[in-house]
Structure formats: C-alpha cells, structure tokens
Amino acid sequence: MEEALLSVQGVCASAGEKPILHGIDLAIGKGETHVLMGPNGAGKSTLGQVIMGNPTYTMTEGAIVLEGKDISEENAAERSRDGLFLSFQAPVEVPGVPLQSFLRAIVAQHPELNLKGKRFKKRIAEILEQLNMSADYLDRELNVGFSGGEKKKIEMLQLLLLKPKLAILDETDSGLDVDALNVVSKAIAAYRAENDGTILLITHNTRILEHLSVDRTHVMVKGHLVAEGDASLIGDIDQHGFEQFGVAEDIEGNKISHALDEDEAPAFDAEAALAHAEAAVKAAEAK
C-alpha cells in the first residue's frame, strides 16, 4: 500500500490524569476525504487537537506521522508549517488583533505560499469573492464578537489561504445558518478542487456530507475507533444512530427510545447502554 499522507499510530492521549484516547490508528491517503463520527464526548475533537499538537493533551503513547516524518514532538506552529491545518469547533477570540494583521502574520510563516505585498491583497480579495464574504471582516478584531457562522467563515478563509496538505475540519457544520453552511461547503469544494486537498472531517451530523464524496468513514466511541467503512456507513448511522456501536444516541446526540408506544416505553437504561458500549469496546480492542 502506498504510504499514507497522515498516519496516526496507536495514539493514546490524556487531559491531565484523565485518559481520553485509547490506541487510535488512522491512515489518510493524499487527496482522500475521511469522516470521523461518533456520539458527543467520544473524543473526536480531542483527536483533532492531538494531531494538531495542543499541549493541553498529553500524548502518552503512539506516533503521528506526516509524509513519513514523525511529528509527535513538534509544536503546533511547526505542524502548521509542515502542512497541517485544524479548523476549530469554537475559534478563539483574540482581542485587539485585526484579522488582516493576523492573516499577514500567518502567511509570513508559510513562505512557500509566496504571498508578499500585493499578491497577499490579491489572494485575499479572491478568496473573499469566492466565499462571497465582505472585506469589512478584515478590519475587525480576530473572531471578537463574531457569530458562530462568521467564525467558521474566517476559518474557511484561512483554509483556502494556507492551502494545507491536510485539513482537519472539526464540527465545521454544527450550528450554522444556511449562508454559513454554503460558505463552508464552497470552501471545502474549492480546497479539494484547487489543491487536491486531503480532509479529515469531524462531525456527528451528516447534513454537510450530502454534498461531499467521502472515501472512508471512522466511528469513535469512548476514545476508541470502533468501526471503519466506506461512505455507506454514513447512511447507516443516519438511519440507526450510534446504537449499533453500543450507544443509545441518535446522530443529533438525543437519547434513543426503542419503543414507539409511550405506554410501553422503558426508561432509558444507562447501565445497560454502558455495558453494551463496553462490550463493543472490548470487541474493538480484540480486533
């Protein structure tokens, strides 16, 4: 098999004393689109943060390899310069720093983009037009007072500006209005078309996937990858939720009740669900 662009090898990670990820293996080939699904709290976002090198999490075991190079010891800035990008679920507000200055600063860290002076302005103008965004954003403080949708648009702007080798898009579709969702879809399409972009999309929602051809789907439950399949797995989850993986939750994160008739509805049995989940996890570990 051809060497993967990104390979996550047996990664265990914890936040403080608390283990979150347990032996994650994941390989993404160049130009592929992978989707990582799972119920709330499964550790999906943590995996994205660990791949990007967030020091809040300690990687206790395993390795992260990008284009054959072990980047596990690199900090986030170095990983970015290697070509990784993480679109944040909740982009952080940085008061007093205008978006424009920030974009100039990040472009300066990626000299291969060759976007100095006029070329920078031109490229920004292009992206704004492509995403149908107003130039007014440029003078505003980075993410400060932006709506959730606006923040996501700014993330997409950076995605197209930086042209990373691999983009991890974390819950990029959650809580978006139609306009913002359009921008996100456009940006993802442009990234793929223009740069043969490679994507790891983290979500528990399938709405955005309707417009996206997916190569592989991974399912995470309680810090373990419990299933992997092609795009058809998404449809499966869409219909049945994560229940088949031992979690009584639909894809919106609501608790599933088995009964249709309310009179017969048994109360949600947390213990049984937990036992079920643990069994699934054990089975996965056995694999």
Partner 1 sequence: MAAEKQQVTEVDRSLYDFVKSEEGYERLDAGLTPDIVREISAKKDEPQWMLDLRLKSLEIYHSLPIPDWGPSIEGLDMDHIVTYVKPPTEQKSDWESVPDDIKDTFERLGIPQAERAYLAGVGAQYDSELVYHNIQESASKQGVVYSGIEEALHGPYEELIHDHFMQLITPQDHKFAALHGAVWSGGSFVYVPKGVHMEFPLQSYFRLNAKGAGQFEHTLIIVEDGADLHFIEGCSAPKYNVANLHAGAVELFVGKNAHMRYSTIENWSKNMYNLNTKRAIVDDGGTIEWVSGSFGSHVGYLYPMSILNGADSTCEFTGVTFSGATQNLDTGCKVVLNAPRTSARIDTKGISKAGGIQTFRSSVLVTEKAEDSDVYVSCANLMLDDESRSDTIPAMDVRAKNCNVGHEASIGRIGDDMMFYLMSRGISEDEASTMIVNGFANPVSKELPLEYAVEMNNLIKLEMEGMEGAIG
- x/- mask, partner 1, residues 177-196, rule CB under 8 A, reads --------------------
For β-strands 33-37 and 216-221, DSSP reports them as: parallel
Q: What is the dihedral of CA 75, 77, 83, 88, to 10 degrees?
A: 100
Phi-psi map region of 83: left, alpha, beta (phi>0 left; psi -120 to 50 alpha): left
Residues in 40-59 at the binding interface with partner 1, rule: CB under 8 A: 49, 52-56
Q: Could you tell me which stretch among 77-85, 208-216, 229-237, 278-286 binds partner 1 (CB under 8 A)? A: 77-85
| Rounded Cα gap, residues 264 and 241, in angstroms | 21
Task: Please say which residue, 191 or 245, places its beta carbon nearer to partner 1.
Answer: 191
> What is the pattern of x (binds partner 1, CB under 8 A) and - over residues 83-122?
--xx-x--xx-xxxx---xx--xx--xx------------
79 belongs to the binding site for partner 1 (CB under 8 A):
yes
Residue 199: Cβ-neighbour burial (10 angstroms; 0-12, 13-18, 19+)? buried
Near partner 1 by CB under 8 A: residue from 3, 40, 70, 75: 75
92 vs 193, which CB is nearer to partner 1?
92
d(CA 223, CA 225): 7
Instruction: Assess contact for 9 and 27: CB atoms under 8 A.
Output: no
| Candidate segments 72-80, 130-138, 179-187, 216-224, binder of partner 1 by CB under 8 A | 72-80
What is the binding site for partner 1 (CB under 8 A)?
Answer: 49, 52-56, 75-77, 79-81, 85-86, 88, 91-92, 94-97, 101-102, 105-106, 109-110, 141-142, 158, 162
